[in-house]
Amino acid sequence: MRTTTTEKLAELQGNPGNVRNICILAHVDHGKTTLADALVASNGIISQRMAGKLRYLDSREDEQIRGITMKSSAISLHFHNDTGEFLVNLIDSPGHVDFSSEVSTAVRLCDGAIVVVDVVEGVCPQTHAVLRQAWLENIRPILVLNKLDRLITELEMEPLQAFIHLQQILEQVNVVTSELFTADVMSLYSSDPTQTEGGTQQTHDWHEEADEQEHKNIYFSPDLGNVVFASAYDGWGFTIDQFADIYGKKLGMNVEGLQKTLWGDFFLNSKTKRIMKGAQLKGKKPLFVQFVLESIWSVYEAVLIRRDMEMTKKIQASLGLKMNVRDTRQNDTRVLLQAMMGQWLPISSAVLGKVVEKLPSPLEIAEEKIEKLMCNQARRFDSLPPQTQALKQDFLACSSSEEKPTIIFVSKMVPVDKTALPQNKQRPLTEAELERRREAARQRHAVRMEQRQAAEEGGAETQGKENGQADGQAVADWPANKPGVAEDLEGQVFVGFARVYSGRVRKGQKLYVLGPKHDPARALQKLTEARDLDATATVSDLSSDDHVTVATVTDLYMFMGRELEALESVPAGNVLGIAGLEDHILKSGTVSSTVACTAFTDLYFDASPILRVALEPTHPGEMGKLVSGLRLLNQADPCVQVLVQETGEHVIVTAGEVHLQKCLDDLQQRYAKIEITASSPIVPFRETIVPPPTMDMVNESIITQNSGNGNVIRKEFEDDEEVLERGLVRIYTPNKSCMVQIRALPLPPEVTDYLDENQLLIKTLDQYVSSKISDRHKADIQVGSKLKQSTKEAMKEFKEKLEKLFTEAGKQWKDFVEHIWAFGPKRVGPNILVNRVEEYDRLSIWDCLSNEKQKGKVFVRDYEYSVMSGFQLATLTGPLCDEPMRGVCFVMEKWEVAGNQPKMEKNTERIDKNERNSEICGENLEIKLSKVSLDTNSIESKSKETLSECNGSSKDSDTKSHENGLTNRSVSITSDKDETEEELVPSSKGQGQNLVQGHMSGQLISIVKEACLKSFQTQPQRLMAAMYKCNTQASTEVLGKLFAVIGKRHGRILQDEMREGSQMFNILASIPVVESFGFAEEIRKRTSGFASPQLVFSHWEVIDLDPFWVPTTEEEIMHYGEKADSENRARVYMNNVRERKGLKVDKKIVEHAEKQRTLTRNK
């Protein structure tokens, strides 16, 4: 029976000081949902007896079947103790890596977290991950050490052993938090330049900071009151203050003193009755063992292990437990034990007691957290408009008064069946309604009787008809059976899983939905210009510079686990469900009553989706349903990506196999309701080049051409004129008007990894560079000053580290960082384009780091965009199998475009350059000069900007080029040029110009792309496979089988450690994603369920096999046979990808068919 009502909970919502928004976080299977069950049972929503067995918050069928949680779900609980009445909004999260995005959505809405650790398994990979999540979102955790019963029943530990074990586990957890803390403090110091000056000052500050933070309870310790010991399954839990209280009173000791010494190396001197230090040294029982663990052990011993009824009764009496008859008559002693322990040390009061005591209320939100929520890395809080900055006070006040702005963050959209909405549910009828129904039935009966009488009188034939009518009427009276209503109740609505940060949200309220790119400054200006926002627009109607829509809140709900309760309004500081936003928010978003509010920063997702499959309906005619189903799925799942590929295939990208299965089930049963066929998983690869190998396939050193000076060209390119040497190509357009000379080099692996790690910074960098290039008329704006100091510091550090990595890699990389031109593919990838074109001194991408004005600098040359696009295209689809490249450096050594001169603007600088280029490339001089006439005309509107700017700076540039040692020869060409110029000026405004430049830029894109690909091909090419990191725990018996499975799938064992005090091994392996399908299942089967791996994407690894390799030397043929195509994994993967993409595959299918037939017949 529920002990509380929705009205009571709604009332409690109004007092934010007594509200706690918390989530339960842990590694998979450490007991989160079981713990949540125990807490839910304390409110009478489920029975105490069923707690732990029901897993109430796992409401999906597949969650119950698989026994893992797949989504986060919330429930509001009522808790009261001596300090008052509290509302605890509890969110249970999944622990499986595939659903880590659900953890992010939960953590964002909370102020505190309960971190659960299984004391047998200890700290596991997801424990790290969730502690990190909590740290990043500035939420305060308490620790629950769970499954203590397993130490007694499974590991059969003695209390002392268990104490030492618990200390070790606690140590492990604290190591993780201290790592997070140190990393944070370090970054704080490195990003704040004022702190790095003066060594002594720094150390001093460091310690001060550390002490201060320590006070803030970053470490877990039972004496600090932030650790609960529990067995969620058996329903008990305690903190040491409970025992300090009991024994303090019993032994007449100081409770506070006892509280400080109960956990630690202290013992009780039985003679003096005093607490002494050094239990371990003196071989005494520590207090925790004597007072706490032994009592618990004795209960388990008596009830569960020895089943000693007499002893059990004694214990019951001494603990003052009142057992009901049903429990004492139980045959199953575990039930009896649970009843006893649950009464003695109820887990809910221990955990919730600590939650309300230790975790912050919404009123205690930190300023730092608000700033983090309101602006991302690239923006400084003080660069926001004053109205926006003023909102910080509203966050801090967390007031729900009318005049405060409403600010809500929606972290995910929860699909709810329409029939499950409170307004559509059949409620129990009230007495008055029952009476009315009875009356109606009576009347119907009377009518029927009358009719029957009439029929008897009038004849039998009308009888059936009349009867039918009456029945039909009766059926139609039932509202749910009305056809219109039934149709209405089909399908889903999306309810936003949200939190109110300020103000009060009401049903029917109109609010702004702020898109991710919303800029408060612009929106505010727009409003002052009295151009009101369109109240009817939905997210799909937004134009590219509008990022705000207006939505009406249709309903408000309180999440109650599997159910929703309707509410009229929700005040600040609470978690809620909000309806009416499904056309406005896709996955997450910010809703506010003022446009001055910024869109909250993106959620931090730990795992990126990697596993992609193509979907199609089993019956091709149902494509429409699939498409609309996919749209719903995309909105409902925070992590899934739904794409339509260029080929037209519908693809979903998921985090792993379990997630994929969940998405498919959802699509088939809920969103599309059709049968769906999924392709086998599409695994991404990367393409790269490596330094020439020194060994061949049979480990013989290669003494042929490769080992020479490295400039020898691969055989197939020997006769190719375009290939100058290994890795270097020079390509002309067919009409010889453009030439590029590009070299491909393998990047040092450390650099590639570093680039990958810093994608966010590269993106920010790119944004600034492109904004600068496009704002060239504002070339003198101080781009650097717009960046946040910490971002700038981070970028500086990024550049320095990059320089260091290049220097370490060798002399040949000197100066590369300064000349980086672009990153690719998609402008942020781990490949770089380097500018080594002589005397082309383009804008450095690092310019934003300096605060100096960049006035008058020539930024880019014409056609720069074409070169960039060519590079981006090449790196996006490599030559092996159209997969993106990774770790390749392209060096543009020469680049000539005939007649690329903005002459009519009288800018001599460019002309000089082109002439000099012509000089370099002597043999084409003639052709190019003849081209000039054509191309000078080709100025598209865009490049006019460049021209005017160049014009402005021509003086500077001129001087500069002379300083650079301009030769007499080039000066003379310049003067030649002036003549041509005069001729051409009149035609420069003609219509055909754009066309010519259009052609030119198209040609340039294609030759740059071609040159990149070709130079790539002249180097040794390799495929790179995505690798999973696989964490498994296994006992000694199944270790062999586990290794066999990993070996078969080309995996590698990275680490195998025996866990202290147990027979279990922690195994860390890496396995290629492409070999991982069914891996978890196979391991589970082969080890009879004793080991279940967790797979997380970790890195890209070169498959050290040339995909084009065939045995050539005698040894190789002897070793591998003539074709050896089955040995060549890289080739198999490459051909599979090519086949899937419909590319040409060079494969012999049958060789000597007749011979084979003869052979078979002869057998």
Ligand X SMILES: Nc1nc2c(ncn2[C@@H]2O[C@H](COP(=O)(O)OP(=O)(O)OP(=O)(O)O)[C@@H](O)[C@H]2O)c(=O)[nH]1
- Which of 146, 177, 574, 601 is the binder for ligand X (CB under 6 A)? 146
Nearer to ligand X, 68 or 173 (CB): 68
Q: Does 28 bind ligand X (CB under 6 A)?
A: yes
Give the whole-angstrom CA distance, residue 1035 versus residue 1058. Answer: 9
Nearer to Mg ion, 232 or 1096 (CB): 232
Task: Report, in Å, the least distance between residue 777 CB and Mg ion.
Answer: 57
Q: Does 157 bind ligand X (CB under 6 A)?
A: no
Q: Which of 418, 580, 415, 427 is nearest to 485 (CA)?
A: 418
What own/partner pairs with CB < 8 Å and gap ≥ 24 does 62-65 have? 62/661, 62/662, 62/665
Q: Does 884 bind ligand X (CB under 6 A)?
A: no
Residue 712's identity, in one-letter code, is: V
What number of other Cβ atoms are within 10 A of residue 468's Cβ?
A: 10
For residue 518, CA distances in Å to 476, 523, 551, 586, 600 come to 50, 8, 16, 15, 10
Give the whole-angstrom CA distance, residue 1125 versus residue 1111. Answer: 9
- Which of 34, 338, 946, 1087 is the binder for ligand X (CB under 6 A)? 34
What number of other Cβ atoms are within 10 A of residue 168's Cβ?
A: 14
**Residue 231 binds what, of Mg ion, ligand X, none (CB under 5 to 8 Å, by partner type)?**
ligand X
Q: Does 30 bind ligand X (CB under 6 A)?
A: yes
What would the DSSP string read from start to end of 174-233? HHHHHHHHHHHHHHHHHH-HHHHS-HHHHHHHHHHHHHHHHHTT-S--GGGT-EEEEETT
Give the whole-angstrom CA distance, residue 139 versus residue 1116. Answer: 60
**Residue 1134 binds what, of ligand X, Mg ion, none (CB under 5 to 8 Å, by partner type)?**
none
Nearer to Mg ion, 104 or 901 (CB): 104
Task: Report, in Å, the least distance between residue 57 CB and ligand X.
Answer: 8
For residue 825, whether the previous peptide bond is cis, meaning omega lies within 30 degrees of 0, is yes
Helix (H) or strand (E) holding 690: none
Burial 902-921 (b: 16+ CB within 10 A, else e): bbbbebbbbbbbbbbbbeeb
* DSSP secondary structure code for residue 701 in this structure: B
Give the whole-angstrom CA distance, residue 350 versus residue 232. Answer: 11
Give the whole-angstrom CA distance, residue 139 versus residue 23. Answer: 10
User: Which range, of 30-38, 316-324, 487-495, 708-716, touches ligand X by CB under 6 A?
Assistant: 30-38
The residue at minimum Cβ distance from ligand X is 95
Q: Are 333 and 301 in contact (CB under 8 A)?
A: no
What number of other Cβ atoms are within 10 A of residue 219's Cβ?
A: 16
Q: Does 31 bind ligand X (CB under 6 A)?
A: yes
Helices (H), 321-462: 325-328, 333-344, 347-358, 367-374, 386-397, 431-458
**E runs forming strands in 261-406:** 266-269, 274-277
- Which of 40, 51, 90, 95 is the binder for ligand X (CB under 6 A)? 95
Please give the structure tokens belonging to residue 516: 């991710």
What SS3 state is found at 270?
Answer: coil
Nearer to ligand X, 351 or 880 (CB): 351
Nearer to ligand X, 553 or 1034 (CB): 1034
Residues 225-284 that bind ligand X (CB under 6 A): 231-233
Reported as half-sphere exposure (CB side, CA atoms, 13 A), residue 922 has a value of: 0
* Per-residue binding letters, 364-403, with ligand X (x by CB under 6 A): ----------------------------------------
Give the whole-angstrom CA distance, residue 1075 versus residue 1101. Answer: 14
Number of residues that bind Mg ion (CB under 5 A): 3
Q: Does 917 bind ligand X (CB under 6 A)?
A: no
Nearer to ligand X, 142 or 576 (CB): 142
Give the residue carrying structure tokens 């904004």: 771
Q: Does 126 bind Mg ion (CB under 5 A)?
A: no
Q: Does 30 bind Mg ion (CB under 5 A)?
A: no
Nearer to Mg ion, 29 or 905 (CB): 29
Q: Does 685 bind ligand X (CB under 6 A)?
A: no
**Residue 96 binds what, of Mg ion, ligand X, none (CB under 5 to 8 Å, by partner type)?**
ligand X
Residue 449's identity, in one-letter code, is: M
- Which of 20, 30, 32, 650 is the binder for Mg ion (CB under 5 A)? 32
Q: Does 149 bind ligand X (CB under 6 A)?
A: yes
Nearer to ligand X, 341 or 1103 (CB): 341
Q: Which of 161, 116, 170 is nearest to 297 (CA)?
A: 161
Q: Which of 127, 47, 43 is nearest to 90 (CA)?
A: 43
Residues 653-682 that bind ligand X (CB under 6 A): none
Nearer to ligand X, 147 or 886 (CB): 147
Q: Does 93 bind Mg ion (CB under 5 A)?
A: no
Give the whole-angstrom CA distance, residue 104 versus residue 1141. Answer: 35
Q: Does 147 bind Mg ion (CB under 5 A)?
A: no
Beta bridge partners of 1088: none
Q: Does 96 bind ligand X (CB under 6 A)?
A: yes
**Residue 26 binds what, of Mg ion, ligand X, none (CB under 5 to 8 Å, by partner type)?**
ligand X
User: Which range, of 142-150, 238-246, 840-848, 1139-1147, touches ligand X by CB under 6 A?
Assistant: 142-150
Nearer to Mg ion, 72 or 954 (CB): 72
User: Which range, of 62-70, 118-126, 374-382, 729-737, touches Mg ion by CB under 5 A?
Assistant: 62-70
* Per-residue binding letters, 44-73, with ligand X (x by CB under 6 A): -----------x-----------xxx----
Q: Does 33 bind Mg ion (CB under 5 A)?
A: yes
Task: Report, in Å, the least distance between residue 29 CB and Mg ion.
Answer: 8
Pairing of strands 575-579, 641-644: unpaired
Nearer to ligand X, 96 or 1041 (CB): 96
**Residue 150 binds what, of Mg ion, ligand X, none (CB under 5 to 8 Å, by partner type)?**
ligand X
User: Which range, of 29-37, 619-627, 1050-1058, 1141-1149, touches ligand X by CB under 6 A?
Assistant: 29-37
Q: Does 869 bind ligand X (CB under 6 A)?
A: no
Task: Report, in Å, the least distance between residue 154 CB and ligand X.
Answer: 8
Q: Which of 681, 654, 661, 668 is nearest to 63 (CA)?
A: 661
Nearer to ligand X, 149 or 394 (CB): 149
- Which of 10, 21, 22, 29 is the binder for ligand X (CB under 6 A)? 29
What SS3 state is found at 311?
Answer: helix
Beta bridge partners of 1052: 1070
Q: Are 1069 and 1045 in contact (CB under 8 A)?
A: no
Q: Does 147 bind ligand X (CB under 6 A)?
A: yes
What number of other Cβ atoms are within 10 A of residue 534's Cβ?
A: 13
**Residue 18 binds what, of Mg ion, ligand X, none (CB under 5 to 8 Å, by partner type)?**
none
Task: Report, in Å, the least distance between residue 125 CB and ligand X.
Answer: 13
Q: Does 32 bind ligand X (CB under 6 A)?
A: yes
Q: Does 69 bind Mg ion (CB under 5 A)?
A: yes
Q: Does 27 bind Mg ion (CB under 5 A)?
A: no
What number of other Cβ atoms are within 10 A of residue 152's Cβ?
A: 21
* Per-residue binding letters, 823-842, with ligand X (x by CB under 6 A): --------------------
Number of residues that bind ligand X (CB under 6 A): 22
Q: Which of 185, 156, 497 is nearest to 297 (CA)?
A: 156
- Which of 9, 26, 558, 795 is the binder for ligand X (CB under 6 A)? 26
Reported as half-sphere exposure (CB side, CA atoms, 13 A), residue 170 has a value of: 23
Q: Are 425 and 419 in contact (CB under 8 A)?
A: yes
Give the whole-angstrom CA distance, residue 46 versus residue 573. Answer: 27
Nearer to ligand X, 30 or 1131 (CB): 30
Count of all residues that appear for the chain in the document? 1163
Task: Report, in Å, the least distance between residue 257 CB and ligand X.
Answer: 31
Chain contacts with ligand X (rule: CB under 6 A) = 26, 28-34, 55, 67-69, 94-96, 146-147, 149-150, 231-233
Chain contacts with Mg ion (rule: CB under 5 A) = 32-33, 69
